[in-house]
Each structure stands twice: as structure tokens, then as C-alpha cells.
Amino acid sequence: MKLTSDFEHEGMIPEKYTCDGANVAPVLKISDVPKKAKSLALIVDDPDAPVGLWVHWVLYNIPPKTAEIDENNLPKGTTAGMTNFGFTKWGGPCPPDGMHRYYFKLYALDENLKLPYGLNKNQLESVMDGHILEKTELMGKYILKAFQEG
């Protein structure tokens, strides 16, 4: 299974996807999903946040035939989960203390888990436990303009 975007794995996330820009979610391209997958789930988090792991986006019940996804193009049936920002939409990178890493983790699941709207990352991971067929990651980095110039 593959997950790609317009930035390279371990490369810099374009400004438009961050608080320095339009703060819109990147378009993610999905390919080579296992044939046995019944649904997909996506978690985007930042392990470098000063308060610990910070969750930027949670999506689940994504149809397995989905080839492309972004916040304005959520496939029918996709359910949004709660982020650490306190809302259920994309919250872009806005690191307060230098360079951070952002992990886009895509999971292929063996069931279409009938889950309610608004689950957080921990709740979703608990329900997914034992149902993950495959996982892939795309990691991007970002540093605020203020730190780049300083």
C-alpha cells in the first residue's frame, strides 16, 4: 500500500498546508490497497510537539477504493475524528519551537468498522486493534517562517 502527496517522504511540507499558508489539507494519493481491505483509516500526528504527540487529522470509514483524498474531497462514507485542536477537520502544521515531523499514517482494515463521528486517535486505534491488514506512512517536515528567518 502506498500513500503519496506533492511533497516527498521525509521532505518539507509546502507552506500552503500550514498555519503560515492557507492551512488546507494536502491532497493524498492512495494506491496498492490490499484486495481484502474493507475500509481505510488515516491519522496525521506530530511526535515532536512540546506537549507530546499532537493529532492533526483523523479520518476513518474511508472506502478502500479511494484513490485520492483531501479535506474538500472526502469520499462518501468517510467519517472525521477529533484532533487535538478540538475540531474534526484538518489542522495544519504550526510548530512552536523549530522543525517538526508530521506522520500521515494510512491503515487498511479487514472490516468496515461502523464507528460514530468524532472519535479521537486513541479511541480509533483501540477499535482498529486486531483489524489492521497493512499500514503505510508518509512523513513530512515543517518549520515556521519565523524560525526559518531567525
- The answer to whether 62 and 40 have CB atoms below 8 angstroms apart is yes
Split at pLDDT 50, 70, 90, the class of 31 is very high
Q: Is the pLDDT of residue 147 over 90?
A: no
Statement: the pTM of the whole predicted model exceeds 0.75: yes
For 90-138, how does the pLDDT look when each residue is reduced to its tens digit (9 = 90+)? 999 999 989 999 999 999 999 998 889 999 999 999 999 999 999 999 9
139 and 43 Cβ atoms separated by less than 8 Å: no
Residue with cell 515531523: 101
Asked if residues 28 and 5 have their Cβ atoms less than 8 Å apart, the reply is: yes
Query: What is the pLDDT, as a whole number, of residue 149?
Result: 59
d(CA 117, CA 119): 6
Look at residues 57, 56, 75, 73 and name the one whose alpha carbon lies nearest to residue 65: 75
Q: Domain 2-149 sits in which CATH superfamily?
A: PEBP-like (3.90.280.10)
Within a 10 A sphere around the Cβ of 123, how many other Cβ atoms? 15
